[in-house]
Amino acid sequence: MYSMYSNQKEIILGKTTLCLDIGSGTQDVLLYSPDVELENCPKFVLPSPALQIGRRIEDLRMQGKNIWLHGRNMGGGVTRFIRAHQKAGLKVATQKSSAYTMADDLTRVTGMDIEITDTCPKGFEPVEFTDFNESWWRKFLIAAELPWPDAIAACAQDHGFHPGESNRRGRFKLWQSFLVDGDGRPETLVYKTPPTMLTRLKDLQDDINGGVVADTGAAAVLGALFVDEIEKQSHETGITLVNIGNSHLIAFLLYKGQIHGVYEQHTGCVDEKQLWADLEQFRCGCLGFEQVFENRGHGCLTMELPAEAKGFRPIHVLGPRRGMLKGYDVSFPAPGGDMMLAGCFGLIKGISMQK
């Protein structure tokens, strides 16, 4: 049996921290306090910012109003609402800063018949893009009679800024750099200063007043390590950690505090049999980048795999779509007692490992 949470002595944040895992369907939230038992810390699973903003766009579409987008580069899940708006015969304009939500190459945005302008055109309704709306969160916490946190930490998936290049290939270059140049230490993926190409995380960090940020995949891995038994096991033998999200899935080979391989795919591009077959090849270092890329995924990269890792046999699966591997030889841990908050617990774990 897994313990419900890691030894609190190992997690010394010293501050009330609002931890957010911002996905395409939900944002999973933990209001962590070192002075409160973990089970009693407030937890929420709420609609993602992309869905919240998308519903506002949908409401304006039903009213027959043109829209002007402004604000930040945020999660791309909102773009389907923009396409529906245009399909209804309504106009869309955008600020340059928010246009990057739709494409790295802004000629693609203008090619979608979307005007880029710094000011709201006459007759258009403004719609703000942001992954973190401080005003909304202040109202939410006041309504819940909860305090404003001392710090905010957040994770979101960021493909990175790669104009003129496939963002799948560009994003995977980040993993390559991490494994080859960064020694594969998972805690280094919780950024005090994110890499310059991670523009979504930079905008998110600005909105949370400079708090730490991470990619959702990395946060999920750290979330698994929040469970004492899994972290201990990872130092005794190699383990495979899999996070199956609503849109993306990612897997890591971990041994003795070092990631030795990364596999990343779109959840909708594989069924359970294909996913299991990929993971079997991945664990032995037999799955190539192009094999995954040609199947519309991001890719796969493994370093030289240590024999002591024993094939990375234990497989731990997280994520809202984890049921894809039900019936296979895997375990389904629940970090902190709540699987949906694995990314939030991963942020806490990553911060504590950096101290």
Query: What are the pLDDT digits (tens) for 110-157?
Result: 999 999 999 999 999 999 999 999 999 999 999 999 999 999 999 998
Whether 5 has a pLDDT exceeding 60, the answer reads no
Longest CA span, the chain: 66
Of 174 and 113, more confident: 113
**Residues 304-322, mean pLDDT to the nearest whole number:** 94
| pLDDT score for 23 | 87
| pLDDT score for 7 | 39
| pLDDT score for 14 | 67
127 to 62, 99, 105, 205, 207: CA distances (angstroms):
15, 12, 21, 21, 17
Give the other-Cβ count within 10 Å of 13's Cβ: 18
| pLDDT score for 247 | 82
Q: Where are the beta strands (DSSP E) in the chain?
A: 17-22, 26-32, 43-47, 66-71, 92-94, 115-116, 124-129, 151-156, 190-191, 213-214, 239-244, 248-255, 258-266, 299-302, 315-318
| pLDDT score for 11 | 41
Whether 302 has a pLDDT exceeding 70, the answer reads yes
Query: What are the pLDDT digits (tens) for 330-355?
Result: 999 999 888 889 999 999 999 988 86
From edge to edge, which strands make up the β-sheet containing 258-266? 299-302, 258-266, 248-255, 239-244, 315-318
Gap between the Cα atoms of 154 and 27, Å rounded? 10
Return the SS3 of 208.
coil
Whether 313 has a pLDDT exceeding 60, the answer reads yes
Helix (H) or strand (E) holding 118: none
Query: What are the pLDDT digits (tens) for 228-255?
Result: 999 999 999 999 999 998 888 999 999 9
Q: Where are the domains of the chain?
A: 8-14+160-354, 49-129
Lowest mean pLDDT, pick from 150-154, 167-171, 294-298: 167-171
Query: What are the pLDDT digits (tens) for 259-274?
Result: 999 999 999 999 999 9
Query: What are the pLDDT digits (tens) for 70-101?
Result: 999 998 789 999 999 999 999 999 999 999 99
Gap between the Cα atoms of 344 and 13, Å rounded? 13
Gap between the Cα atoms of 35 and 18, Å rounded? 14
pTM of the model: 0.88
Gap between the Cα atoms of 325 and 75, Å rounded? 27
* Mean of per-residue pLDDT scores for the chain: 90
* Dihedral sign of CA atoms 179, 351, 210, 339 in order: positive
Helix (H) or strand (E) holding 290: helix 289-293
Please provide the CATH number assigned to the domain covering 8-14+160-354: 3.30.420.40
